[in-house]
Chains A and B, each alone.
Chain A
Amino acid sequence: MTATAASAGAVPRASGSITRQNLRTFLSDRFGVLFTAIFLGFIVMAILAPWIAPHDPNAGSLLRRLQPPAWLPGGSWAYPLGCDSLGRDILSRIIWGARVSIFIGVVVVLIAGAIGTFLGLVAGFLGGIADTAISRMVDVLLAYPLLIFAIGLMGMMGPGLMNIIVALVCFEWVITCRLVRAQTLDVRNKEYVEAAQAIGLSPLRIMFSEILPNIVSAVIVVATLRVGTIIIIEASLSFLGIGVQPPTPAWGTMIADGRVFMLAAWWVSSFPGIAIFLLVLSANLAGQSLRDAFDPRLTR
């Protein structure tokens, strides 16, 4: 007994769990931290909208109609980014609009992520008929032009916040499902899954306690990336007039409203456009640096 104990060699020094190591990698990536901070800033802004927005987003006055931003002649620092065609404060509307955009982006990705993860696990782990059925459904949905699909659904259900979410979830789960299925197929053949089978774990427990923890970081990363895409789609739908309905401030609607005045008052469309750009960019880059830090294949 002592002989074998001696021959096993020294115990390794503790170097923290995988997650803590990943976190350290993540923090050493300055760019990633910067854009994650911007993304978190948007979220904080959305949550605190009622307190930080300088004006009521829906209070308009024809006196301030198309008032330019503060630094242009005719502008005032009371309305730093100017006003729209109804004289409403653009900054306040952007701040409130962040609520809608981020809410939709996050909720859709959460719901679709849960559905997609479950179906992807089932398809990848069980295979056979379940896999064929789910995979074919995924193929069919992926073959549809995404925006047309959403327009069609919205046309059937009518506009409204809940309906947008339902319509977006209807195709968004496909993305997660495909990813989870591929990852599950990869992990399923790992020997530790076979070892769990040899112990006698039920398929459901193998799926959720052996496979899921090993693919969840990939899912989180892709989900972060998808938030940006969903925000753009929601903006597109709002722009087309079948998304969030006025007077609720939404970035897409704001851009649509301003396009008539593009030459005379560029700020009406441009500032919400910049907001979308910044939010999506920061969401994407935050997602990417999360992936770099958490992808086990990239950890040394």
Chain B
Amino acid sequence: MSAGRDGPILSVRGLRTEFPTTRGRVVAVDGIDLDVMPAECLGVVGESGSGKSVTFLSMLGMVRLPGRVSGEVRFDGRDLLGMGARELRELRGRELAITFQDAQMALNPSLSIGSQILETLAAHGPAGSRRLFGRDPGQVGRAIEMLTRVGIPAAAERLRDYPHQFSGGMRQRAMIAIALVCNPRLLIADEPTSALDVTVQAQVLDLIAKMRRELGMSVVLIAHDLGVVAEHCDRIAVMYAGQIVELGPAEAVIEAPRHPYTQGLIASAPWLSDLTRELRPMPGSVPNLIDMPEGCHFAPRCPFRSDACLRPVAMRTAADGRQVRCIRPEAVA
């Protein structure tokens, strides 16, 4: 079965990831429901330990044992969690691509950039062009084209360069080139710019936006910086302690946040556009996954907490379609 034209390209229901540890079971991802629509850019924000990266690694079968993933993940109607490792690998390079925060770690240091692109092409490219020995000139041309498109000057010469000969920004570009070389339908960019300087960050984010327009793909942009997500995404999912606490159109979430955590996050972030705005810090710190508060995970830091918050809180949908995980009536009013 295949999802209709207008249906979501990625659909997640009840995703849960657990890791057994010596000090008890850790629930890193705690019931995620999420849809990514075709050609949409979805932003996922959260602090360290919010589970934002693990969520997407879990969907792609990239969580190592003894981690356990359950729930339902459908990509274009196909069930990802039930898929065999081989099938998943095929899909991962071709239709579904992922880039990581640390390009230095994600690129193989002892292979040239060119051969890493060609490797991807050889594994996932059109079947007729596979060759055992030598390079397919068509594929080399495609690799050069891809590097040029991501903004690497003199791409033909740099094909032979190794990752360490690239700067941080160029490595991130090269990783994006590798991810996009097979025209994927969904790109998951995990903190693509957190390791980069602000001027280079702007370049890379603009590049991702440009590639999204050109390839008509969907993008999931994972970041800890609200500004990054606000600028580039259509919708925002705010994650806290393994759960999505707020989900809605980017502008609405930023201008009128409804979950106390989102409100706190925005109130505590300094704005360049308003230097006199007083920062209101959120008390406490992100809870340890080992002893997660019962009920609402944010309750211990929440200014509005009541006894009712000690019971688990479900995601609620407001009339305007925004979703908030909070029991206060005004959250979904």
- A67-91 interface bits toward B, Cβ cutoff 8 Å, 1 = contact, 0 = none: 0000000000000000000000000
Q: Is A202 an interface residue (CB 8 A)?
A: no
CA distance A9 to B284 in the complex (A): 4
Q: Is B109 an interface residue (CB 8 A)?
A: no
Q: Say which size band chain A's interface belongs to.
A: under 10
CA distance A10 to B286 in the complex (A): 11
Q: Distance in Å from the Cβ of A113 to the closest Cβ of chain B?
A: 32
CA distance A6 to B281 in the complex (A): 12
Q: Which residue of A lies closest to B21 (CB)?
A: A300
CA distance A9 to B301 in the complex (A): 9
Q: Which residue of B lies closest to A10 (CB)?
A: B284
Q: Is B285 an interface residue (CB 8 A)?
A: yes
- A1-37 interface bits toward B, Cβ cutoff 8 Å, 1 = contact, 0 = none: 0000011011000000000000000000000000000
Q: Is B283 an interface residue (CB 8 A)?
A: yes
CA distance A258 to B283 in the complex (A): 76
B283 cross-chain contacts in A, Cβ below 8 A: 6-7, 9
| Interface of A, helix, strand, loop or mixed by DSSP | loop
B21 cross-chain contacts in A, Cβ below 8 A: 300
Within 202-248 of A, Cβ neighbours of B (below 8 Å) are at none
A9 cross-chain contacts in B, Cβ below 8 A: 283-285
A10 cross-chain contacts in B, Cβ below 8 A: 284
A300 cross-chain contacts in B, Cβ below 8 A: 21
Within 265-287 of A, Cβ neighbours of B (below 8 Å) are at none
CA distance A7 to B284 in the complex (A): 5
- B1-43 interface bits toward A, Cβ cutoff 8 Å, 1 = contact, 0 = none: 0000000000000000000010000000000000000000000
CA distance A77 to B293 in the complex (A): 67
- B271-309 interface bits toward A, Cβ cutoff 8 Å, 1 = contact, 0 = none: 000000000010111000000000000000000000000
Q: Distance in Å from the Cβ of B38 to the closest Cβ of chain A?
A: 41
Q: Distance in Å from the Cβ of A292 to the closest Cβ of chain B?
A: 14
B281 cross-chain contacts in A, Cβ below 8 A: 7
CA distance A10 to B21 in the complex (A): 23
B284 cross-chain contacts in A, Cβ below 8 A: 7, 9-10
A7 cross-chain contacts in B, Cβ below 8 A: 281, 283-284
Q: Distance in Å from the Cβ of B299 to the closest Cβ of chain A?
A: 14
CA distance A159 to B284 in the complex (A): 69
Q: Which residue of B lies closest to A4 (CB)?
A: B281
CA distance A9 to B281 in the complex (A): 12
CA distance A7 to B303 in the complex (A): 12
B285 cross-chain contacts in A, Cβ below 8 A: 9
Q: Distance in Å from the Cβ of A27 to the closest Cβ of chain B?
A: 13
A6 cross-chain contacts in B, Cβ below 8 A: 283
CA distance A7 to B281 in the complex (A): 8
- B252-285 interface bits toward A, Cβ cutoff 8 Å, 1 = contact, 0 = none: 0000000000000000000000000000010111
CA distance A7 to B283 in the complex (A): 4
CA distance A6 to B300 in the complex (A): 12
CA distance A213 to B284 in the complex (A): 32
Q: Distance in Å from the Cβ of B286 to the closest Cβ of chain A?
A: 10
Q: Which residue of A lies closest to B281 (CB)?
A: A7
Q: Distance in Å from the Cβ of A12 to the closest Cβ of chain B?
A: 9
CA distance A10 to B283 in the complex (A): 11
Q: Which residue of B lies closest to A28 (CB)?
A: B22
CA distance A9 to B300 in the complex (A): 10
CA distance A70 to B281 in the complex (A): 80
CA distance A300 to B281 in the complex (A): 30
Q: Distance in Å from the Cβ of A21 to the closest Cβ of chain B?
A: 11
Interface centre among A6, A7, A300 (most CB of B within 10 A): A7
Q: Which residue of B lies closest to A7 (CB)?
A: B283
Q: Distance in Å from the Cβ of B154 to the closest Cβ of chain A?
A: 35
CA distance A6 to B21 in the complex (A): 31
CA distance A7 to B285 in the complex (A): 9
Within 48-69 of B, Cβ neighbours of A (below 8 Å) are at none
Q: Which residue of A lies closest to B301 (CB)?
A: A9
CA distance A66 to B283 in the complex (A): 82
Q: Distance in Å from the Cβ of A18 to the closest Cβ of chain B?
A: 16
Q: Which residue of B lies closest to A24 (CB)?
A: B22
Q: Distance in Å from the Cβ of B64 to the closest Cβ of chain A?
A: 14
CA distance A224 to B209 in the complex (A): 57
CA distance A135 to B161 in the complex (A): 34
Q: Distance in Å from the Cβ of A261 to the closest Cβ of chain B?
A: 54
Q: Which residue of B lies closest to A15 (CB)?
A: B23
Q: Distance in Å from the Cβ of A172 to the closest Cβ of chain B?
A: 35
Q: Which residue of A lies closest to B288 (CB)?
A: A12
CA distance A68 to B283 in the complex (A): 79
Interface centre among A6, A9, A10, A300 (most CB of B within 10 A): A9
Q: Which residue of A lies closest to B282 (CB)?
A: A7
Q: Which residue of A lies closest to B285 (CB)?
A: A9
Q: Distance in Å from the Cβ of B320 to the closest Cβ of chain A?
A: 34
- A44-84 interface bits toward B, Cβ cutoff 8 Å, 1 = contact, 0 = none: 00000000000000000000000000000000000000000
CA distance A300 to B283 in the complex (A): 27
Question: 6 more A-B contacts (CB under 8 A) besides A7-B281, A10-B284, A300-B21?
Answer: A6-B283, A7-B283, A7-B284, A9-B283, A9-B284, A9-B285
A-contacting residues of B (Cβ < 8 Å)? 21, 281, 283-285
B-contacting residues of A (Cβ < 8 Å)? 6-7, 9-10, 300
Complex A-B: 9 CB contacts under 8 Å: A6-B283, A7-B281, A7-B283, A7-B284, A9-B283, A9-B284, A9-B285, A10-B284, A300-B21
- List the 7 closest A-B pairs by CB distance, nearest first: A7-B283, A9-B284, A9-B285, A7-B281, A6-B283, A7-B284, A9-B283
